[in-house]
Chains A and B, each alone.
Chain A
Amino acid sequence: MTNENLIHYIHGIADNSMILGQRISELCGHGPTLETDIALTNIALDLLGQTRSYYQYVAELSPKDITEDDVAFLRKEREYKNVLLVEQPNTDFAYVIVRQYFFDVFHYLLLKELEKSKNVNFQAIAKKSLKEVSYHKRFSGDWLKRLGDGTDESKQKTQQAVNDLWVFTDELFHMTKDDQVVADAGFGVDNSTLKSEYYTMVKSLLKECKLQIPEVKYFQKGGKKGIHSEHMGYILSDMQFMQRTYPDMKW
């Protein structure tokens, strides 16, 4: 296992948190109620904090003299390795919650395994993050129940979000070559082993919410290889604006 394998593996985990954090932070000041606004902003902050720990580690491993900011603000779209799910837009509150729940369950299962990594940095970040993600999962799961088992309108909108976002769930369990190398070395997690528990958990909550489980023949993929949906460019142009406009600016 080379440092390059390890860096690519970290991007695969950290970019999910970075992009989802950026997505949810768009809702700061625009949440449907004050409480949900604050909650989502808090979740965004947790994800951003976790990302910083991973990116600082990337900067340490990198042969170049870089900082966490270079990793976040100077990479191009193709160099981002997040899954397609996290870059999907905040269409409405139902989408926000369903996207969050689909990701939180995966994130929770991933961190529970990463905590056992042979790599001390991964252990530390995973232990810390797991505490936070347990709260995220509780928040999105509770809201999913309220929306799915709520009014006719909330149910219909939530079902629509579930139907539209379900196609992005399978990619969470894909393994790149780097992922496999790092997992085989006992540093990383083999995501494919999380799949059955993931679907058991998600499907059981959907049933509890009286929502239909979509049947999908073809799942969407590409993000993990850097092939993103059209939304990704807009996210990065927002996120990287300052650094691209005023190169090397410092806060």
Chain B
Amino acid sequence: MTEDVYIEAELLSILKSVPDPEIPVLSIIDLGVVRSAYLKGKDVFVEITPTYSGCPAMDVIGDDIKTELKKHGYIPKVKLILSPAWTTDWMTDEGKQALRDYGIAPPMDATSDKEALLGNKRVISCPQCESKNTRLVSQFGSTACKAMFKCEDCEETFDYFKCLT
């Protein structure tokens, strides 16, 4: 989450309870897709931004936000915005740790990411055994936002959340 994001304090805990439908250990706040949430009486205006243009989770996220806010007596309006474009920098540290615990390697910084995805350097740590002896299997994983890696030590394959800056 960055400083230019405004989320009304009383809405934050509600929005935090909405998980990402594809990576349920992450809340949409940890993921950084909520860009603003304003309150006007009982009306709530939420702006969300997609991680990837074609992300099929966005419709579900929008619906989940509405359902959750309605439960608390609000009248929600959700708008999808494209600018500024989402970056992995908006993911919170808690979010990154949650990813690791879940078995997905969190995004590295842009330079290391490039080296890793070009197969030049072994910099991605295995979320299972923390070994850096890992190799790229495919630049695309189970969703557009992830790449697939294999750990040469524990021999587990795992997803790496690609860096997007």
Contacts and interface: CB of A to CB of B under 8 A. Distances in A.
Interface of A: 35-36, 38-39, 42-43, 45-50, 52-53, 120, 123-125, 127-129, 131-132, 135, 138-139, 142
Interface in B73-99: 81-86
A230 to B, nearest CB: 28
Contacts of B142: 38
A142 to B, nearest CB: 8
B58 to A, nearest CB: 9
B82 A125 contact: yes
Interface residues of B, number: 26
A34 B141 CA distance: 10
Contacts of B141: 38
B67 interface: no
Nearest to A139: B139
A52 B84 CA distance: 18
Contacts of A36: 138
A45 B85 contact: no
B53 A135 contact: no
B interface secondary structure, majority = loop
Nearest to A120: B83
Given A42-B143, A45-B54, A46-B52, 18 more contacts: A35-B138, A35-B148, A38-B140, A38-B142, A45-B56, A49-B53, A49-B54, A52-B54, A123-B83, A125-B82, A127-B84, A128-B50, A128-B86, A132-B144, A135-B139, A135-B140, A138-B139, A139-B140
Contacts of A125: 53, 82
A interface secondary structure, majority = helix
B140 A43 contact: yes
Contacts of B117: 138
A42 B53 contact: no
B164 interface: yes
Contact of B54 (A48, A127, A142): A48
Contact of A47 (B54, B56, B81, B82): B54
A53 B164 contact: no
Interface string B27-52: 00000000000000000000000101
